[in-house]
Amino acid sequence: MTIVLDARDLERRHALEGSEVTALRGVSLQVEEGEYVAIVGPSGSGKSTLLTLLGGLDLPSSGSVAILGASLSALPDRALTRLRLERIGFVFQRFHLLPVLTARENVELPMAEMGVAPDARRARAAELLAYVGLADRSGHRPTQLSGGEMQRVAIARALANRPAILLADEPTGELDAATGREILALFRRLHADGTTLVVVTHDERVTSEASRVVRMLDGRIVD
């Protein structure tokens, strides 16, 4: 099996009010292609910090992260940005859709950045919105969508460039129980279709669906 993500001995220290806080202490994690990994733990355990390092949104104080063999720390900013664009899909707790763009335009955004031709990206956006069950909402702006719909648009956006791995940070955190179940069902479907998933969550339902559960406490993986 291909190792999609390989994190070794990650440490992340922050300066906070004159003192140093260690958010991660020697975390290592490998994720194989097609895996569905759930990272769980209490607040402050370091799981969101770990996700930002895995996705190259922040750099570790020490240790390394590699996506499909490419070490993120060794990449210049431009290459790291390109790698995020091409290889990583992000889903955030607060959706982070762009309010001035429609659902379709939000999904098109990563493809536009990749230089995909307008016709091709429109077709791909329509396909993805249909996949997440929002074919009829493509012209709506985020303010016209429910929380669950916004998260589905965010998932469609994350899949736009066919990433090697999809990283989700509390994807059901802002949703009610029923809507959260819909999103989890969508993740289940994504996993079944071969998408590699790493989901940081408080939601115990995710742990029952993931192929592997990683538990964190005080900046360490404990299980």
Partner 1 sequence: MMTWRWAIRDLLRHPTRSALSLLGVAVAAALLLDMVMLSGGIERSFGELLRSRGYQLRISPLGTLPFDTEATLGDVTALTVALRRDPAVREVAPVLGSTMQGAHGAIAASLVTYGVTPTSQGIYTLESGRDLTATDTVGILLSVPAATRLGAAVGDTVSLRGRLDPQMANAGAERRVLVRGIVRFLYDAREQPSVAVALAAAQRLGGPDLTDRASVLMVRIDEASDLTAVTARLRAAHADVAVNSIDDLVAQFRLRLTYFRQLSLILGSISLVVTVLLVGTLLAITVNERSGEIATLRAIGVARMNIARQVLVQGLLLSVLGGAAGMVLGLGTARWLDAILTSFPGLPAAISFFVAEPAPLAIAAATLLLTGVLAGLPSAWRAASTPIAAALRSDAP
From 61-69, 77-85, 124-132, 211-219, span contacting partner 1 (CB under 8 A) = 77-85
The DSSP-derived string for 121-155 is HHHHHHHHHHHTT-GGGTT--GGGS-HHHHHHHHH
- Closest CB to partner 1 among 140 and 212? 140
149: nearest Cα among 133, 163, 165: 133
In this structure, is the dihedral angle defined by the CA atoms of residues 176, 182, 188 and 193, taken in order, positive or negative? negative
- Separation between Cα atoms, residue 221 and residue 207, nearest integer Å: 15
Task: For residue 41, state whether it binds partner 1 (rule: CB under 8 A).
Answer: no
Task: For residue 130, state whether it binds partner 1 (rule: CB under 8 A).
Answer: no
Distances (CA, A) of 131 to 151, 157, 174, 209: 13, 12, 22, 20
Residue carrying structure tokens 């390989």: 6
The mark string for 132-171 relative to partner 1 (x by CB under 8 A, - otherwise) is -------------------------xx--x----------
From 89-97, 125-133, 179-187, 200-208, span contacting partner 1 (CB under 8 A) = 89-97
Contact 205, 181 (CB under 8 A): yes
- Closest CB to partner 1 among 174 and 209? 174
- Closest CB to partner 1 among 6 and 169? 169
Task: For residue 39, state whether it binds partner 1 (rule: CB under 8 A).
Answer: no
- Closest CB to partner 1 among 1 and 16? 16
Instruction: Check residue 17 and report its DSSP letter.
Output: T
Q: List residues binding partner 1 (CB under 8 A).
A: 48, 52, 55, 57-58, 77-78, 81-86, 88, 90, 92, 94-101, 105, 108-110, 112-114, 157-158, 161
